[in-house]
């Protein structure tokens, strides 16, 4: 009988589910790390929230552990690479607290509009300062949402119910999905200038870190109010404090901070500032939802092998895994290739499975491809959540299988349509099991996926190769492989280079300065 340890406080419903499914369950909350290491080898499953730290030494001691379930979305407390190396599936519950987090954001916005925390403190102090706390209505005001995915779209719906005008900036939000939500899709610059309230609902990535920088905050409408219930690090906290003190920003309400627990912060004590201790998911309903979901997922896996919301493996049976493994890697790399080159909202994705790959179970391949496609802008995306995330963003997906044709007996072609353009990339698996690119934007070429790559589009003119080599050489960048393709002599061309180190922005700018170059982008796999 599989045995599960619940090491953080979960709803009793989780215990009930495990027991009803026939699993043995122990609840031991608040274990010291040394004690957890001592007993973890007895268990097949570990259910946690955020307090338990599944570090490499804990995982090393977990000789029988098969699955770690996180009741919630964040998995910073779980060493996923270490778990993967030990063959331990890591699951989370990415959608269990969406409504709760959205409601907290709306609550923070209303509290900010009417200065409720400060008015409460003043009144309870016996002051009765009616004239001091002059608020603003939210009706007919413009709410700018940065990140309109699952939670952001719920916030938009609630704001529409408050008769607010809603605009959203999200590179993955399509025009059709925006219309469905009743929001205006805009670029960040327009949102900053027009919004009366700004609410952030984007993950923290390299692209979104300090998305509200000092420069961005200076572009906002005077009197704007800012809410962040997403992730710390999205706002330059020093710049926000300065803008509140000058009166440019009328107020801010933050549930998350750049460093947590936030026992101290530059914003603390600032007038017109509201703080809560990361309460976005802190409701009875949300905690019950995630507890029930994680228990059901873990029980399914331990009893039947079914995989749901796994962060480190696709949804595959054991027999399918070996057969599909090289194609899963190819599909994810093709998606990651296109995703790193996509800068606007994706409207359509078409995947062609040609030849023998079309006779396989293509659903895990599609999930892997969408994972790669969404990964550059969405944190915690995995082969299970990727199809749902794509659907939530209004991305139309089509899968086509075709008989073998052309020079390759089996290949996958990905075509991505955005608000501005369409592009395609195709790849195959060679006899040695290695995935390779065979075509980009209808230009034939052959290239291995490498950890660090440089993608260059250019005009096919003499001197380009020399100029590129000189630019990289002057930056002390070594070229591992160099692959070229062109439409016709003197026409459009593409260069794909594998390099021995990441290409930073300075290197990319050097490449862009070459006269024949049209586009240059650093890629990572």
pLDDT tens by residue, 271-287: 999 999 999 989 999 99
Say yes or no: 198 and 259 in one domain.
yes
Boundary-marking domain end, from 391, 415, 449: 449
d(CA 222, CA 218): 9
Say yes or no: 255 and 333 in one domain.
no
Q: What is the pTM of this model?
A: 0.70
Say yes or no: 64 and 45 in one domain.
yes
Cβ atoms 28, 50 nearer than 8 A = no
- pLDDT bucket at 341, cuts 50 / 70 / 90: very high
Domain-embedded: residue 361: yes
- For residue 435, what are its two tokens? 């995935």
C-alpha distances out from residue 396 to 287, 333, 387, Å? 33, 20, 11
**Residues near 72 by beta carbon (within 8 Å), at least 6 away in sequence:** 49, 50, 92, 93, 96, 97, 281, 290
d(CA 438, CA 73): 37
pLDDT at 317 over 60: no
226-269: pLDDT as tens digits: 999 999 999 999 999 999 999 999 999 999 999 999 999 999 99
d(CA 187, CA 395): 19
What pLDDT is attached to residue 364?
A: 86
Q: Which residues of 274-301 are buried (b: 16+ CB within 10 A; e: fewer)?
A: bbbebebbebeebbbbbbbbbbbbbbbb
Say yes or no: 459 and 394 in one domain.
no
Cβ atoms 428, 330 nearer than 8 A = yes
What pLDDT is attached to residue 232?
A: 95
d(CA 92, CA 149): 18
Select from 445, 384, 121, 96 the least CA-distant residue to 273: 121
260 is an active site residue: yes
Q: What is the 3-state secondary structure (H, E, C) of 347-362?
A: EEEEEEEEEHHHHCCH
pLDDT at 367 over 70: yes
Boundary-marking domain end, from 449, 473, 505: 449
Domain-embedded: residue 123: yes
Residue 125: CB atoms within 10 Å = 9
The CATH number of whichever domain residue 396 belongs to comes to 3.30.1330.90
Domain-embedded: residue 280: no
| DSSP string across 204-244 | --TTTTTSB-HHHHHHSPTTEEEEE-S-TTSB-HHHHHHHH
- pLDDT bucket at 409, cuts 50 / 70 / 90: confident
Domain-embedded: residue 210: yes
Only one residue has tokens 């961005």, namely 216
What pLDDT is attached to residue 407?
A: 77
pLDDT at 456 over 90: yes
C-alpha distances out from residue 236 to 23, 148, 378, 485, Å? 47, 21, 21, 43
What pLDDT is attached to residue 345?
A: 87
The active-site residue, picked from 189, 260, 285, 509, is 260
What pLDDT is attached to residue 305?
A: 79
134-172: pLDDT as tens digits: 999 999 999 999 999 989 999 999 999 999 999 999 998
Say yes or no: 159 and 271 in one domain.
yes
Q: Which helix (H) or strand (E) holds 366?
A: helix 362-374
38 is an active site residue: no
pLDDT at 318 over 60: no
Task: Give the domain extent around 397.
Answer: 314-449
Say yes or no: 47 and 29 in one domain.
yes
pLDDT at 468 over 60: yes
Domain-embedded: residue 182: yes
Say yes or no: 342 and 304 in one domain.
no
| DSSP string across 330-349 | HHHHHHHHHHHH--S-EEEE
278 is an active site residue: yes
Say yes or no: 117 and 222 in one domain.
yes
Say yes or no: 307 and 357 in one domain.
no
Kindly report the average pLDDT of the chain as a whole number.
92
Domain-embedded: residue 377: yes
Domain-embedded: residue 304: yes
Cβ atoms 341, 423 nearer than 8 A = yes
Number of domains in the chain: 4
φ, ψ at 16 (rounded to 5°)? -60, -40
- pLDDT bucket at 38, cuts 50 / 70 / 90: very high
**Residues near 414 by beta carbon (within 8 Å), at least 6 away in sequence:** 334, 335, 338, 349, 350, 351, 352, 369, 373, 424, 425, 426
d(CA 299, CA 2): 9
**Antiparallel, parallel or unpaired: β 165-169 and 184-185:** parallel
| DSSP string across 469-508 | HHHHHHTT--EEEEEEEESSTTSEEEEEEEESS---HHHH
What pLDDT is attached to residue 358?
A: 92
- pLDDT bucket at 363, cuts 50 / 70 / 90: confident
Boundary-marking domain end, from 275, 301, 324: 275
What pLDDT is attached to residue 296?
A: 94
122-133: pLDDT as tens digits: 999 999 999 999
The CATH number of whichever domain residue 485 belongs to comes to 3.30.70.260
d(CA 366, CA 414): 10
What pLDDT is attached to residue 419?
A: 85
Say yes or no: 442 and 330 in one domain.
yes
The active-site residue, picked from 201, 225, 278, 436, is 278
Cβ atoms 24, 45 nearer than 8 A = no
Q: What is the mean pLDDT of residues 391-400?
A: 92
Return the percent helix, strand and coil in the chain, to nearest 5. 35, 25, 40
pLDDT at 388 over 90: no
What pLDDT is attached to residue 314?
A: 64
Domain-embedded: residue 162: yes
d(CA 10, CA 26): 12
Say yes or no: 117 and 262 in one domain.
yes
**Residues near 125 by beta carbon (within 8 Å), at least 6 away in sequence:** none
pLDDT at 380 over 70: no
d(CA 194, CA 184): 12
Q: Which helix (H) or strand (E) holds 76?
A: none
The residue among 367 and 45 whose pLDDT is bigger is 45
Cβ atoms 185, 132 nearer than 8 A = no
What pLDDT is attached to residue 210?
A: 97
The CATH number of whichever domain residue 33 belongs to comes to 3.40.50.720
The active-site residue, picked from 231, 375, 393, 436, is 231
Say yes or no: 15 and 34 in one domain.
yes
Q: What is the mean pLDDT of residues 402-419?
A: 89
- pLDDT bucket at 87, cuts 50 / 70 / 90: confident
Residue 404: CB atoms within 10 Å = 13
Cβ atoms 201, 146 nearer than 8 A = yes
Prior bond of 407 cis (ω within 30°): no
């Amino acid at each position: 009988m599989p045995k599960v340890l619940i090491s953080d406080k979960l709803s009793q419903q989780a215990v009930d589910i495990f027991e009803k499914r026939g699993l043995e369950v122990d609840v031991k909350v608040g274990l010291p790390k040394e004690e957890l290491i001592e007993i973890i080898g007895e268990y097949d499953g570990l259910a946690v929230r955020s307090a338990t730290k599944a570090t490499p030494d804990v995982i090393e001691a977990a000789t029988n552990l098969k699955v770690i379930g996180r009741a919630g979305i964040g998995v910073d407390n779980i060493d996923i690479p270490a778990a993967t190396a030990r063959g331990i599936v890591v699951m989370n519950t990415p959608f269990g607290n969406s409504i709760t987090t959205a409601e907290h954001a709306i609550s923070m916005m209303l509290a900010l509009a009417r200065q409720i925390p400060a008015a409460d403190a003043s009144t309870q102090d016996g002051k009765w300062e009616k004239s001091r706390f002059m608020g603003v209505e939210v009706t007919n005001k413009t709410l700018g949402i940065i990140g309109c995915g699952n939670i952001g779209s719920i916030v938009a719906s609630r704001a529409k119910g408050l008769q607010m005008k809603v605009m959203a900036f999200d590179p993955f939000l399509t025009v059709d999905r925006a219309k469905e939500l009743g929001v205006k899709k805009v670029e960040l610059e327009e949102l900053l200038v027009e919004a009366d309230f700004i609410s952030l609902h984007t993950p923290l990535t390299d692209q979104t870190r300090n998305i509200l920088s000092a420069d961005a905050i200076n572009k906002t409408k005077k009197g704007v109010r800012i809410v962040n219930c997403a992730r710390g690090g999205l706002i330059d906290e020093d710049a926000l404090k300065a803008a509140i003190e000058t009166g440019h920003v009328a107020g801010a309400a933050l549930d998350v901070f750049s460093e947590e627990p936030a026992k101290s912060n530059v914003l603390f004590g600032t007038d017109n500032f509201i703080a809560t201790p990361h309460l976005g998911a802190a409701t009875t309903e949300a905690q019950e939802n995630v507890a029930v979901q994680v228990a059901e997922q873990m029980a399914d896996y331990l009893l039947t092998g079914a995989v749901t919301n796994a962060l480190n493996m696709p949804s595959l049976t054991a027999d399918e895994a070996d057969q599909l493994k090289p194609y899963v890697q190819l599909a994810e790399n093709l998606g990651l290739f296109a995703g790193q080159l996509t800068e606007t909202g994706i409207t359509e994705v078409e995947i062609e499975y040609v030849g023998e790959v079309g006779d396989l179970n293509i659903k895990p391949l599609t999930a892997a491809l969408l994972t790669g496609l969404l990964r550059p802008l969405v944190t915690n995306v995995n082969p299970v959540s990727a199809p749902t995330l794509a659907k939530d963003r209004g991305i139309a997906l089509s899968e086509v299988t075709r008989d073998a044709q052309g020079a390759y007996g089996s290949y996958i072609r990905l075509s991505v349509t955005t608000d501005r353009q369409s592009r395609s990339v195709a790849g195959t698996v060679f006899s040695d099991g290695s995935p390779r690119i065979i075509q980009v934007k209808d230009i034939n070429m052959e290239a291995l996926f490498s950890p660090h790559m440089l993608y260059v589009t250019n005009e096919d003119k003499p001197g380009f190769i020399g100029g590129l080599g000189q630019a990289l050489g002057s930056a002390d960048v070594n070229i591992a492989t160099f692959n070229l393709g062109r439409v016709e002599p003197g026409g459009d061309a593409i260069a794909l280079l594998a390099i021995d180190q990441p290409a930073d922005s300075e290197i990319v700018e050097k490449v862009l300065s070459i006269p024949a170059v049209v586009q240059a982008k650093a890629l990572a796999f």
